Structure 1
Amino acid sequence: MFLPEERERAALIEVVRLGDDQLVAIWEGDSARSALDLIASVPYEEISRCFVPGWMIRAHDGAGPLFEIEFCFRCDGALLRGPVVPEDQRMIHGFAAQSAQAQELLARFRSEEPA
């Protein structure tokens, strides 16, 4: 999946469950890098039309926010936006939500939800 070049600057990722906009986790250091590597490895897929995202990440460096991605695992769409994202890349990108990589990412998100 497409990520901005500045992803290497990310030191912290906030994981947000959309709907109730609940911050469920903060991943730092190796956890943040591992998550971004996993996201980058998700293959491309055509987007369906629903786009009702359930999860979002916000990537930050020491100076503030870099980018965020909202994920819809139903329509294979991921909205990328943020201060380091060029205007022509601020859009919904396709990703293979049923791929092993995307399912691992979804499992990581769900493992952070409060019981």
Structure 2
Amino acid sequence: MRLPIDVPGDVRRADLIRVEGDREWERWTTVPGPVLESVTGADATALVGLVTDLPEAGMMRCYHPMYALRAHGAEGVLFEIAFCFRCHNALGFAGGAQTGLEGFDADSPAGQELLGRFRAADPNAAGRAPASSAP
């Protein structure tokens, strides 16, 4: 998957976010919701690596993101991506603006590993609707 920006240098921290609040995503300038977990160093780099390993896929229509990743560098937030694992759409943000929707394969090994990381960090994951289109 193409990231919303070219990442300059190393990602210092990555936040796993549960998307909440205003669902009118067309107006977002940042992802609304609480940080479930923050990781640093090699763990942060590995999370961003999962995102870049996501194969591209066709986009569907629902776009109801449940989780997001926010990457931080030395100067602050580098980018954010809100993922809908049902319709395989991801919405990117950089510099306080949306960079657009992109399709990804949520059922790929990287997609399932990323979803697993979000669910493991989310104490409410058991009560949430299934996020993948996989049977």
User: What TM-score do the two structures reach when normalised by structure 2?
Assistant: 0.76
In structure 1, the residue matched to 2:66 is 54
In structure 2, the residue matched to 1:30 is 42
In structure 1, the residue matched to 2:107 is 98
Structure 2, unmatched stretches of 5+, are 22-32, 125-135
In structure 2, the residue matched to 1:10 is 11
Choose between structure 1 and 2: higher helix proportion: 1
In structure 1, the residue matched to 2:87 is 75
Counterpart residue identity of residue 13, structure 2: L
Q: What is the rounded CA distance, in whole Å, between the counterparts of 1:49 and 1:5 in structure 2?
A: 27
Cα shift at 1:91:
0.3
Cα shift at 1:98:
1.0
Structure 1, unmatched stretches of 5+, are none
1:24–1:11 Cα change, 3 Å: same
Identity across the alignment (%):
33
Cα RMSD (Å): 1.9
1:84–1:9 Cα change, 3 Å: farther
**Which among 30, 42, 51 is matched to residue 39 of structure 1?**
51
Q: Show structure 1 runs of 4+ deviating over 6 A.
A: none
